[in-house]
Structure formats: C-alpha cells, structure tokens
Chain A
Amino acid sequence: MIFKPLYFLALLCLLSLRLLSSETEVHQKVPLAIALPYLQTIETDAITMGSGPVKVYVFVDPYCPHSRNFLSLIAESKKMRMRYTYKIFLYTLPRMQSEVMVSYIYGSPKPLAVLLDVMVHGVDVTPYSSKQHQEKIFKIAAVAKQIDIYKRPYLIMVKKPKKKRAKL
C-alpha cells in the first residue's frame, strides 16, 4: 500500500519535469558558420526566386499561413527580389500535414510557379504524391533537423553588411 502514494508522487514529478522541459524548450541558434556548410549541401534542391546579391535561405511550409504571407510579400516586391536571392526549401510542419503538397510542388515541372500559385495566388490544386523527389525532401528535412529549423518561415541570411549604395 505504501508504494501507491510514492508511485503517484513519482508520476507527478515526472509530469512536472516534462511540462517544465516543454515550457523552457530553448532552441539554440546554430551559428551560421556551422549551418552554412549543411545548407550548401542542399542548395541545389532549393527553389530559387529573386536575383539579388544577398542570399536568403528560407524554410517554408506550403500550408503555413505565415510562410504564405512571407512569400506573398516577397513576390509582390520587385525591390526585395532585386536585392535578395531566395533559396526556398519546403519543410513540412507536422500539424499542417502538407507532405503531399510538398511532394507535388517538387514534382511539378515548374516548382516556383506552382509554389507561387499555391502559396501566393491561392490557386486550388489537387496535389498528388510523387515518389521521385522523396530523397530530396528527406535530405532537406535532415539538414533542417541538424540546424534546428523549428518554425516556419525560418530565415538564414548570408550577406555582407549593408554598405552605402547608389541611388536606385
């Protein structure tokens, strides 16, 4: 009988610890020097937008509202596309259940156009899964986990500091 309260106490302690650990979950930002070599391994798998001198690695989920908002802002701004080159990686958020859409976009002949249709223009598409690009999706996910991409959109920028620039 004595074990029963102890059992409950232990359970309570474990639960508290679990709760505490989830509340104080801190994402240690991976320094760029470490993250960049990983990113470079998947750079060819990115969907590229813009032609600016500054590179921005962006992790988005096609169903994430903030990812959509972010992409819309960039797509609408010529200035932002001229100043930056976006390397867009599709990386699903578990709760969004966007795996099929990610696969569909990567599998399409013009991934950028489809990406913009889905995320910016709100075109209603019926996605289907394509096994052809699974390896690419896993590779991106592996790098994302490695460098702790915990939210969408997630940005990593590589550029030189802002210098005086000529008038546009």
Chain B
Amino acid sequence: MMYYNTPNVNGYVRFIQKYRLGIIGLFIIFATVALSFYRPHLVTSDELFWLKESKELARTEAKEYSTTYVARLSVHIDRFNNGKKLELEALQKELENSKEIDQVDSLFSAYYIYNDKSGDDSSLVKAVDVQKMDAATLQQFVREVPEPYKQFTDTSFSTFSFFIHSKSPIFIEDLDSHLQYTISQPNENKEITGYLGYLILIFSVVALFFRMVFKNFISAIAGVVVIGLTLIGTFSFIYLVTGISEIHVAMPLIAVSIAMVDYLYFYYRWHVTQYKIDPERTIQKTLNRNLVPAYWTSLITALGLGGLLFIDSDIVKILSLSVIISSVMGYIINITFLPAFLSFFRVKHPKVSFGRFCYTFAKNEMHYNKTYLVLFLSATLFIMSVGAYQLLVKTNGLFANSVSHGVMILKTPYDVIDLDYIEKLQTFEQKLHEENEGVGEVTSLASILEMLNVANVQTKTFDEQGLMQALFFLELYELEPKLIDEESVTIKINFEDADPMEVVAWVQKYKDLDLYFIDKETLLSSAKLNKTVLLGMSLSTALIIIGLIMGRIFRSKEMVLVGFIVNAIPIAWFGLIVKVLDIPLSLEVLIAMTIAVGLASDATIHFAFKYFRSRYFGRTQKHSLEIMFFYSGVPVIIGSLILALVFASLNFTGIVSLELIGTYSSLLIMMSLITDLLILPVMLLAIDKFNRY
C-alpha cells in the first residue's frame, strides 16, 4: 500500500472496540506467562559476549593455558624515603598474601642482574631483589638503570605501580595500607543489585514526562504498559528463538526506545485528533494514518537488520533481534492493545505545547541554503569514507587504548630451549620494538637470559655454553616461575607509549612464533578487533538495505540516498566523536548506534510518509512541511527528549555499562533528533518532484 492510500479500518476498529476487554486480558495473560517462565540472566559487562566468540580464547583454552586478569594498582606518595619504602613493601606482601592473587609485579618484586666482582679473577653472576637497597640507593640505581623499572615507577618516585595477576577478577576495596592509591581493574560482570529499581526509575521518568507533555495520566499509563509489554515480549521471544538467556543490562533499553517512539506516533495522533474530530472516530483516524507507515518501519527494520541474524555472533544476533522484535512487537501492541485501551478514554484538552515549533521549522527550512546542505553532506560522506578506510585498512585504530592496564601477557610453547628457540624469541622482541613505536620493556626468557649472559664475564658471546650457564643462573636465582613452565614461555609486553591495539593486531599477524594471549584484557581486545570489520560491514549493509527499501516504498531513487544518508549521519558524526575522544569500541557503543539506526529509520519513514502524502493531495511544500512536523515531528521531539533524559539519567546508576550506554545513547539520540529536524526535511524538499505550490 502506497503513502497516498488510506486503509479502510472501520471493520477492524469495530472489532477492537467490541472485544477490547478480551484483548487487554489476553495481553495481561501473555505478560504473566512470559514473566513466570522466562528468567533473563542480566549481565553488566560485555566481556562474556565478546569472549564467548573469541577465537584467540578458544586457541588459548585448547592449549590448556590458564588465562589471567591483570589489574594495575597505582600508589601515589609525596616523597620516597625509607619509611615509605617499608609501607610499599608491606603493601606488596599484603597483596601477595591474598589468596585470590597469583602474582604481583612491582619494584618490590623486581630483581637486578649484575656481575658481582672482587677483582678480575673473582666474580659471580648475581640476581638480587632491588628492594634490599635502601630508599636513596634504590632511587639512584633506578635512575642509572631506568629501562627495566620504569614500568613500576616514574622518574620523580611519586607513583608506584603494582601489576596484580589473578585467576578471577579481584576487587580491591579495603587495603590495610594508608597509602593513597587508584586501581585499574578489569571490567568484569558485577552482581546487579536493584536493577528492578533502575527499571522502575526509567518507567517513572517516562511516565512523568508523558504526564507533563500531554497533561493527563492516560498517556503515562498507556505508555508504560505498551513499553513494558514490548519489553517482555521482545526478550521472551529472543529467548524462545535463540535460547540465549544472557542479556546485557543495556539491551532492554533498545526495546524501551523503539517501543516508546512507536507508541508516541500512535498516541500522539489519537491525542491531537480529539481536537477537531468526534472522539468516537479518533481510534479510526489514529489507525488509518499510522497503520501503513508503522508497518513499513517494522518491515524496514526487519529487512534491514534481518540479514545480520545469519552472522555467527551472539552479540550481533541479540542486537539485531532486539531491534527487529521490539519493532514488530511494538507494532502489534500499538494496533491491538493500545486502541483497545484508549477506547475507554477521551481527552478534554488535547493541546500539545510543542505544536508551535512546527511552524517555525517549516518556515525556516523552506528557504534552506543549498550550498550549506551540499557542504554538510560532503563532510558527512568524507567522514564516512575515513571511517570505512579505518574499518577496512586500519581496523585497530578504532580501539585506541582499550587495553587499559598497560601490559600484555603472551605464552609461546617450546619443545626444546636451545639457541634457535631463543633466537626466535629475540627476533620477536626486536621486530616488536622496530615495528611498533613506543613499546616499552619486554620481559621474557630471552631478555632475562640475555641479561644473565651479559652479566656473566665468563661467556660473553651468547653461544651454547652461554645459554646453558644463563639457564643455570635462572634456576639458581629462582627467576624461572614468571618466565617459563613445563611447556611454555611467558612474554610480558609493556605498552608504554605504544597503541595497545596496534600491538595486539601486530602480534596476531606474527607468524614466526606460536603466540597465545593470556590476559583477559588482551583477549577481549583481540575479540573486538576480530569482530570490527564484521560489525562495521553489518551496520553499513543495514543502512544500505534501509535506503533501498525506502526507495522502493516511495518509488523514488533519490529516497535511497535520503534513507541511507539520514540514518548514516548520526552514526558518522558520532563515529568522529568516538575517534576524537579515543573512546574504545564496546557493546555500549554498538547498542547506542543500533538504537540510533532504529529511531532514525522510523523517523525517516514517518516524515517522508506525511510529507509526500500531503504533497500528493495537493498541499504546498510549506504546508506539507507543517503537517509533517505537526504529526511526525512532535512525537519525534517528545520521544527523543524523553529518551535522551532517560539515558542521561543512567549516568547516576553506578553501573559502568549503563553509564556508558547512557552517555553514548543520549548523545546519539540528540544527534538523530537534530538530523530529523534539520536535515531530513531539507532533503525531502530537495528531492520533491511534485509541482511546486
């Protein structure tokens, strides 16, 4: 059905009104049954989702190498002296004594390898703990030999880093130490307490906003019920289809967003229609004006994102299913439950204060400057091209600084520790430094054996005898455990000034050694790295499909471009912000982008539908714009403002993931709103082929 057709819904409306109690009852039963059978497992960290699909983790696990979490505890002091040294040593011991902690690397566990001589004829290779020196000597020593120790302290001796290795994430809250410290810990799943409270808070904000905007309680109650039903329906259905019960806490927000905006198109029409029309006919008007565009929005979402369901990735599946199902569920609920519910009520004063904005926007946008539009679109296309280049060529650039603790732990298996093997390790380290600018100290069997050999005046050249003696001293001073086990060698890389993701990508491509990522943070980064192209391509494909379907709906080639550009603008500009601010790609960013695509595609359909319908029926461009803004713009403004407010309020939840999704989504939603209000109408005017006036 085309945009100029008006569906006959009289029979359907009579049916709804006749069986309205039954319909409402049916939805209540459905919600009760779904809630009693389906128990979602809510998680706050995206780690589970990424690692589940990590090929690197699968490789590491196949080798039976145990993975480790690395946290970085940074202690800040004013002045380093013997007293402070004792406190720092005590902290080292306290951490080492913790049952959960496997290893603590710091200046107070570091050793110093040297040749202890008493004359040319008497000397011995020594490896001594640097902590045995007093504070002044230690300071002097580290200044003279800074390289191995600068990962643990700065030049002013005011910050000391402790790298804490543990099998499970540790959450250091109460240290006996009085020292001032900060800790960078893994983003691990936390127990969710009071999630229901947050949900109630979100619903309360939504309800309050509806009450304020529409000045009645019906809008608030209907809104909360429609959104609630969509939420329950969406995730029960996803569980039924995929069997995946783990839901990231931020994912329900996709359903909330889409359901709310869909609801607003229907409710708003019902609300404002009461101004002129007999209240009995408002349901009819609401349905025959929204049935087709809402159907197209659901279809476009389903087809646009449907292709993503075939991608072997739980993250992509759940994200796209969340949008598709919530869109379809929202549509079904809005055309069945909502009219049945609203048929009991009427609004006495159906005024909405946003109405006057429509005329201002319509008036000003009629005289848009084509040069500015071309410049803006060119800039957007340029950003998109740069984004595509980054995605395809410099993938790792998208993840700047996502390995936050500054170290990468690798393992590489060995059959025999001989010169060939050590040479391979040395070549790896050498190339790592040469090809990755800014990489700091690399601690491995090769580097320590080299230090032992240099300290051994007897061997000098690193030959077979040198290797044997270095290995001997390695065992003698018990330096082995951190470097080598029964079948593998451990390599620790300090990123220092290097881009961690560049290093991750480089290591993945390195073929001369069989390397395995051991620390969870790096595994997580590598998993994200491997999925970037896939996710980026998926999103781009979805945008192209959305554009193509819009072209088909409106029988216009130009609409393909409009559909694509309008959906891509918020993503492209948000991508630029993400890049400029060095925000690492995470599930939260993807969820925010998915919400933006969902909302933007809905808005495009509704706007274009209203505009072209009005133009078809002979309205002028200006009048058509006014109608478009009045019937579609206002719900978008209300919906976007509520969503931005709700998402921004997530910043107070204390759950990192929700805080991130809150920030990103509110930003993207506002960018979407600006695009819908300023760019979309102008583009519709630009492609308008109806006779002017």
Contacts and interface: CB of A to CB of B under 8 A. Distances in A.
Instruction: Indicate whether A and B interact.
Output: yes
Interface string A87-126: 0000001010000000000000000000000000000000
A66 B476 contact: no
B486 A165 contact: yes
Nearest to B488: A164
Interface string B448-476: 00000000011111001101110110011
Contacts of A150: 120-121
A141 interface: no
A37 interface: no
Contacts of B467: 161
The interface size bin for chain A is 35 or more
A137 B471 CA distance: 30
Contact of B468 (A157, A163, A164): A157
Contact of B417 (A93, A155, A157, A162): A162
Interface stretch (A13-21, A40-48, A69-77, A127-135): A69-77
Interface in A124-168: 150-157, 159, 161-167
B122 A67 contact: yes
B149 interface: no
B418 interface: yes
B475 A152 contact: no
Contacts of B194: none
Contact of A79 (B414, B416, B461, B475): B475
Contacts of A49: none
B11 interface: no
Contacts of A80: 475-476
A155 B486 contact: no
Given A65-B122, A77-B476, A167-B486, A29 B465 contact: yes
A38 interface: no
A119 to B, nearest CB: 13
Contact of B121 (A73, A95, A155): A95
Given A69-B124, A157-B472, A151 B457 contact: yes
B118 interface: yes
B487 A159 contact: no
Interface in B275-310: none
B122 A152 contact: yes
A164 B414 contact: yes
A152 B118 CA distance: 10
A29 to B, nearest CB: 7
B435 interface: no
B122 A84 contact: no
Contacts of B487: 164
Contact of A155 (B460, B461, B472): B472
A166 B485 CA distance: 10
Nearest to A31: B465
9 contacts: A61-B122, A70-B124, A150-B120, A150-B121, A153-B124, A155-B469, A162-B417, A164-B415, A164-B486
Interface of A: 29, 32, 56, 61, 64-67, 69-70, 73-74, 77, 79-80, 83-84, 93, 95, 150-157, 159, 161-167
Given A66-B118, A66-B122, A161-B416, 16 more contacts: A29-B459, A29-B465, A61-B122, A66-B117, A80-B475, A83-B475, A150-B121, A151-B120, A151-B121, A151-B457, A152-B121, A152-B122, A155-B458, A155-B469, A161-B417, A161-B467
Top 10 nearest A-B pairs by Cβ distance? A162-B417, A66-B124, A161-B418, A157-B468, A64-B122, A161-B416, A151-B121, A66-B122, A164-B487, A163-B416
